[in-house]
C-alpha cells in the first residue's frame, strides 16, 4: 500500500451555519469549521481530537458531503467534489462511510441486522440477492459477529452495545469504502469493550487499506489507532503532526493543556492539582479576535489579541498555529 498517494485533500474548507434572529435581522454565522487544510493518504489513519463544540463532527460530516460546504475545496481522488449535486455524488457515497457515536440510535430498531446490512447494497444496486447474502456474511465475519446465522435475523434491541457497534462497523464496510470516518465510535461503550472495538477497527483498516479519520475527544485512545494527530480548536486545526511527536513534544499551548488534563492511573494523582487552563471553548458565533485560544492561554502576548497566527512548521512535518513559534 502506497501511503504517499493522496486520497483526500481539503483546502481552506469552511462550514458556517446561518442563525437568524428575526426576519429582518442580519444573519449571524456559527463558524463551526473555519478554514481547514489537510491531506490524507491512501490507507492512512489519522485522528482528529478536540473538545465538544470544536467543530470536529461538522468537519467529518462536511467531508462526507452530508453538509454543503460554505467555502473551500474537497478533493477526493483528484476530483473536486465540493459542489457536486447530490445526484452526482452516488459514487462518492459508495466510496465513503461513517460510523456514528451512538450505536443505539444509529441502527433502525425495526430492521433485522440482515436488513440493516442489506440496505446500502440495495440502494447502490449491488448484485442479486444471493450475492448480497454472500457479502453480508462476509462483513459479519470480518467484524466477528459469529455464529452469523444467529446474529443476522436478530433485531438491534437484542444485542449489547459492543455488538451493536460491530453491526454499525459492518454496515459501514459493506460497500468496501475507501474512506471511513468514525465519529467517537467508542465513547458510548464500556471501558473494557472500547479497546476491543478499537483493535477491531485498526485491524480492518490495515487489512483492507482503508483511509480512516478517527474523531474523538479522548487523546489516550488515538495513540494506538493512527499515524497522525490533528488537534482542533474553535473550528481550526491548531496543531498537527506525527502521533508520538505531538504527544511527546506538543507545540501549541492548547495541546499541552489537553495532554496535562489526562490522568494516567497512578496513586500519586490524588495528591496533586492539575495545571489546566480555566474556562471553556469559545462561542463560535462571536469568537475572540486574534488567536481563538488567547483568553485561556497562559503565554498570551499582545499580538495574540490582534492577529490570528498562520500555520507554521517549526519542526519537520509538525505544524502549529501559534505566535510562540513565529520567530524560530
Tell me whether residue 58 or residue 174 sits nearer to other proteins (CB atom).
Answer: 58
Q: Does residue number 249 form part of the binding site for other proteins (CB under 8 A)?
A: no
Compute φ and ψ for 14, nearest 5 degrees: -130, 145
Tell me whether residue 46 or residue 258 sits nearer to other proteins (CB atom).
Answer: 258
Q: From the list 28, 89, 148, 247, which residue makes contact with other proteins (rule: CB under 8 A)?
A: 247
Other Cβ atoms less than 10 A from the Cβ of 326: the count is 12
Write down the least CB distance from residue 11 to other proteins, Å: 29
Tell me whether residue 22 or residue 278 sits nearer to other proteins (CB atom).
Answer: 278
Tell me whether residue 51 or residue 245 sits nearer to other proteins (CB atom).
Answer: 51
Beta strands (DSSP E) in the chain are 6-19, 28-41, 45-49, 71-76, 79-80, 96-99, 179-183, 211-216, 228-233, 236-242, 312-315, 318-320
Write down the least CB distance from residue 195 to other proteins, Å: 4
96-125 positions binding other proteins, by CB under 8 A: none
Q: From the list 35, 162, 288, 295, which residue makes contact with other proteins (rule: CB under 8 A)?
A: 162
Q: Does residue number 147 form part of the binding site for other proteins (CB under 8 A)?
A: no
Other Cβ atoms less than 10 A from the Cβ of 51: the count is 14
Instruction: Report residue 171 as a C-alpha cell.
Output: 454496515
Contacts of 217 (CB under 8 A, 6+ apart): 49, 50, 51, 52, 184, 187
**CA-CA-CA-CA torsion sign (169, 171, 174, 176):** negative
Exposure string over 203-236, b if 16+ CB within 10 A, otherwise e: ebbeeeebbbbbbbbebebbeebbebbbbbbbbb
* Residues in contact with other proteins, shown as a per-residue x/- string from 205 to 234 under the rule CB under 8 A: ------------xxxxx-xx----------
In terms of C-beta density within 10 A (0-12 exposed, 13-18 middle, 19 or more buried), how is residue 320 classed? buried
Task: Yes or no: say if 98 and 172 are a contact pair by the CB < 8 Å rule.
Answer: yes
143 SS3 class? coil
Q: Does residue number 66 form part of the binding site for other proteins (CB under 8 A)?
A: no
User: Which residue's C-alpha cell is 492577529?
Assistant: 307
Q: Does residue number 199 form part of the binding site for other proteins (CB under 8 A)?
A: yes
* Residues in contact with other proteins, shown as a per-residue x/- string from 254 to 293 under the rule CB under 8 A: ---xxxxxxxxxxx-xx--xx-xxx-xx------------
Tell me whether residue 148 or residue 193 sits nearer to other proteins (CB atom).
Answer: 193
Q: Does residue number 311 form part of the binding site for other proteins (CB under 8 A)?
A: no
Q: From the list 90, 158, 195, 326, which residue makes contact with other proteins (rule: CB under 8 A)?
A: 195
Q: What does the chain come to in residues? A: 328
Q: Which stretch binds other proteins (CB under 8 A): 85-93, 103-111, 121-129, 184-192?
A: 184-192
Q: Does residue number 299 form part of the binding site for other proteins (CB under 8 A)?
A: no
Q: From the list 190, 307, 313, 317, which residue makes contact with other proteins (rule: CB under 8 A)?
A: 190
Tell me whether residue 261 or residue 285 sits nearer to other proteins (CB atom).
Answer: 261
Instruction: Report residue 138 as a C-alpha cell.
Output: 462476509
Binding site for other proteins (CB under 8 A): 51-52, 160, 162, 190-196, 199, 217-221, 223-224, 247, 257-267, 269-270, 273-274, 276-278, 280-281
Amino acid at each position: 500500500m502506497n501511503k504517499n498517494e493522496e486520497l483526500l485533500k481539503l483546502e481552506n474548507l469552511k462550514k458556517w451555519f446561518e442563525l437568524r434572529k428575526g426576519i429582518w435581522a442580519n444573519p449571524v454565522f456559527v463558524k463551526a469549521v473555519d478554514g481547514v487544510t489537510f491531506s490524507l493518504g491512501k490507507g492512512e489513519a489519522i485522528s482528529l481530537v478536540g473538545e465538544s463544540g470544536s467543530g470536529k463532527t461538522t468537519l467529518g460530516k462536511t467531508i462526507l458531503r452530508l453538509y454543503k460546504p460554505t467555502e473551500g475545496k474537497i478533493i477526493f481522488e483528484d476530483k473536486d467534489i465540493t459542489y457536486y449535486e447530490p445526484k452526482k455524488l452516488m459514487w462518492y457515497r459508495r466510496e465513503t462511510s461513517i460510523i456514528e457515536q451512538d450505536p443505539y440510535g444509529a441502527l433502525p430498531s425495526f430492521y433485522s441486522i440482515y436488513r440493516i446490512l442489506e440496505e446500502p447494497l440495495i440502494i447502490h444496486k449491488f448484485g442479486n440477492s444471493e450475492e448480497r447474502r454472500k457479502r453480508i456474511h462476509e462483513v459479519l465475519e470480518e467484524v466477528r459477529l459469529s455464529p452469523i446465522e444467529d446474529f443476522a435475523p436478530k433485531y438491534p434491541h437484542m444485542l449489547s452495545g459492543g455488538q451493536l457497534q460491530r453491526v454499525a462497523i459492518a454496515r459501514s464496510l459493506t460497500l468496501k469504502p475507501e474512506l471511513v470516518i468514525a465519529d467517537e465510535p467508542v465513547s458510548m461503550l464500556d471501558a473494557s469493550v472500547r479497546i476491543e472495538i478499537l483493535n477491531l477497527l485498526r485491524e480492518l483498516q490495515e487489512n483492507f487499506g482503508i483511509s480512516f479519520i478517527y474523531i474523538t475527544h479522548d487523546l489516550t485512545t488515538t495513540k494506538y489507532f493512527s499515524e497522525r494527530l490533528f488537534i482542533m480548536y474553535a473550528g481550526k486545526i491548531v496543531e498537527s503532526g506525527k502521533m508520538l511527536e505531538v504527544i511527546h513534544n506538543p507545540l501549541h499551548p492548547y495541546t499541552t493543556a489537553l495532554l496535562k488534563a489526562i490522568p494516567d492511573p497512578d496513586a500519586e494523582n490524588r495528591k496533586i492539582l492539575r495545571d489546566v487552563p480555566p474556562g471553556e471553548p469559545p462561542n463560535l458565533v462571536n469568537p475572540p479576535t486574534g488567536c481563538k485560544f488567547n483568553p485561556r492561554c497562559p503565554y498570551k502576548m499582545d499580538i495574540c489579541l490582534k492577529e490570528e497566527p498562520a500555520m507554521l512548521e517549526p519542526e519537520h512535518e509538525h505544524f502549529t498555529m501559534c505566535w510562540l513559534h513565529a520567530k524560530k
